[in-house]
Amino acid sequence: MEDLVIRDADVVDGTGGPSYRADVVVDDGWIVAIVQEAAAAGCQRPKATRELDAEGLVLSPGFIDMHAHSDLALLRDPDHSAKAAQGVTLEVLGQDGLSYAPVDDRTLEGVRRAIAGWNGHGDDIDFDWRSVGEYLDRLDFGFEGRGIAVNAAYLVPQGTVRALAVGWEDREATPRELDRMRRLVAEGMEQGAVGLSSGLTYTPGMYARDAELTELCRVVAEYGGYYCPHHRSYGAGALEAYAEMVELTREAGCPLHLTHATMNFGVNKGRAPELLALLDDALAAGSDITLDTYPYTPGCTTLVALLPSWASEGGPEAILGRLADEETAQRIRHDLEVTGADGCHGVPVEWDTIEISGVGDPRLADHVGRTIQQSAALRGETPWTTARRLLLDDRLAPTILQHVGHEENVRTIMRHRVHTGGSDGVLQGAKAHPRAYGTFPHYLGHYVRELGVLSLEECVAHLTGRPAARLRLPDRGLIREGHRADLVLFDPRTVAAGSTYDAPRTLPTGIPYVLVDGRFVIEDGRRTDVLAGRAVRRSPV
């Protein structure tokens, strides 16, 4: 690799401190010198084989996506502009308690079907790994050993661990099964995972009682990792669910990272200050807590995730069997529409807020872009009939946008001092959520430049230095001599998300250069053929 000097950049270094003008020298993937303008007066300026004029551009550390669903996309698509073009240089995978390691053959098949809506069926992937370490090795040697588009860290997925040790049943783990889960989590951490994730509204992770989760968090804490739960409710029981996670990790002595920390549905309009008060009290008492959010109001998940937990017990085939049975299907409908299913966060479903964003079967594509209610009206049937038929015909694959968020909650939470950025970006589906392609430029363009919700320096710290500290990465997330040269150059006057709800895969503007490990993955606004990304493993305690 040639050495490089980035000349006359406005450096926003990831600490939240004031920006400064400087020349930054990169060599062999590292930042080797930073010469500030004042210090350079009257002195010879640094030179390198290549010079890049950064006049008018901000130089920041690469953005860290604290909640990504690129587990297969990084192995499927060497371009991966969805993230690279945003300035993302590191993604955290293994989210929501479901991913592809550790597994055996039986568990892998169930997981592939359960999260086909997030990552596709994976028929184009050679699943030649079973352990966490083998998956991370596969990332390191992706695309015939060249690597992957951006760096990736991994969370051990608690739901997958439970499927492997217990199965998909709703019951307490036996002492022997709990011991096996502890060992699986320990092995994953030893092999480089940065923590543990849960999806406590997804099967089978939702079947774990707090005592079981606490025991697994104790293991994570021993290895210096953190717990990252998608907790039990973002709706009717949201505050109670947040408090449950705070208490659970306090008892386990484990750091807590609340992922996509939103307050959604009508019952939570304007209640973000209550959440932040809860967190402030815990922080004041000594808890180690961070959170991430995406800067949009709709959520994104799978249609099957809305079902009550009892209907999801046993895994995908059991779900399909219950949906096919008339009497059982009516019980599911009652829980969804009248009681408020736990899968729908305890709130009776509002079919006019559920928009189909993707299907697995192309023959069902006419549903995409319509709400369940709209699609049902076109067919002259009830919304439940449409939803049920979609789940059956598409074998549980449909993904949805769930229009249940509140802008004032989004703005309030992103201001908090422990906030970080995460896209929760699902790259599958004909109509992906625009956050998958736009989260980070949307923060910078909309919430910094247009609305002034955050200062530029503060926002960059939320997207770089703060997440690197949570991940315990001592040489990333800041512009410092001796740090990795994962860097972004953007124009603060024009940076913006190109993605919209109508055109969700439009790339951002105003980000002409992105470097991963000192190599240009975006140059002059275009994706290069560089694959500089690798698996980023947990630093030893």
pLDDT one-digit tens code per residue, 213-233: 999 999 999 999 999 999 999
Which among 417, 363, 423 has a CA at the least distance from the CA of 82?
A: 423
Distance (Å, whole) CA 200 – CA 212: 13
Residue 301: half-sphere exposure toward Cβ, Cα within 13 Å: 24
Is 52:2 a contact under the CB 8 Å cutoff?
no
Which among 80, 186, 66, 86 has a CA at the least distance from the CA of 131?
A: 186
Distance (Å, whole) CA 92 – CA 139: 13
Six token digits for residue 117? 């809506």
Task: Kindly report the three-state secondary structure assignment for every residue of 330-379.
Answer: HHHHHHHHHHCCHHHCCCCCCHHHEEEEECCCHHHHHHCCCEHHHHHHHH
Q: What is the number of other CB atoms lying within 10 angstroms of the CB of residue 299?
A: 22
Please, which residues bridge with residue 519 across strands? Answer: 516
Q: Tell me the DSSP string of 151-204.
A: EEEEEEEHHHHHHHHT-S-SSPPPHHHHHHHHHHHHHHHHTT--EEEEETTSTT
Q: How far is CA 473 from the centre of its chain?
A: 18
User: Does 204 sit behind a cis peptide bond, omega within 30 degrees of 0 on the bond before it?
Assistant: yes
Distance (Å, whole) CA 222 – CA 232: 25
Residue 98: half-sphere exposure toward Cβ, Cα within 13 Å: 28
Distance (Å, whole) CA 196 – CA 200: 13
319: exposed, middle or buried (Cβ count in 10 Å: 0-12, 13-18, 19+): buried
* Matching residue, tokens 């960059």: 460
Q: Is the alpha carbon torsion for 414, 420, 424, 427 positive or negative?
A: positive
> Each residue's pLDDT tens digit in the chain (541 positions)?
569 999 999 999 999 999 999 999 999 999 999 999 866 566 778 888 999 999 999 999 999 999 999 999 999 999 999 999 999 999 999 999 999 999 999 999 999 999 998 999 899 999 999 999 999 999 999 999 999 999 999 999 999 999 999 999 999 999 999 999 999 999 999 999 999 999 999 999 999 999 999 999 999 999 999 999 999 999 999 999 999 999 999 999 999 999 999 999 999 999 999 999 999 999 999 999 999 999 999 998 899 999 998 999 888 899 999 999 999 999 999 999 999 998 899 999 999 999 999 999 999 999 999 999 999 999 999 999 999 999 999 999 999 999 999 999 999 999 999 999 999 999 988 888 999 999 999 999 999 999 999 999 999 999 999 999 999 999 999 999 999 999 999 999 999 999 999 999 999 999 999 999 999 999 999 999 999 999 999 877 6
Which among 230, 216, 211, 166 has a CA at the least distance from the CA of 187?
A: 216
Distance (Å, whole) CA 206 – CA 307: 12
Q: What is the number of other CB atoms lying within 10 angstroms of the CB of residue 392?
A: 14
Q: Where are the beta strands (DSSP E) in 264-312?
A: 289-293, 299-302
From first CA to last CA, the distance across the chain in angstroms is: 31
DSSP tag of 535: B
Q: What is the number of other CB atoms lying within 10 angstroms of the CB of residue 379?
A: 12
- pTM for the whole structure: 0.94
Residues with Cβ within 8 Å of residue 164, at least 6 apart in sequence: 102, 103, 104, 107, 184
Is 181:217 a contact under the CB 8 Å cutoff?
no
Q: Which amino acid is at 216?
A: L
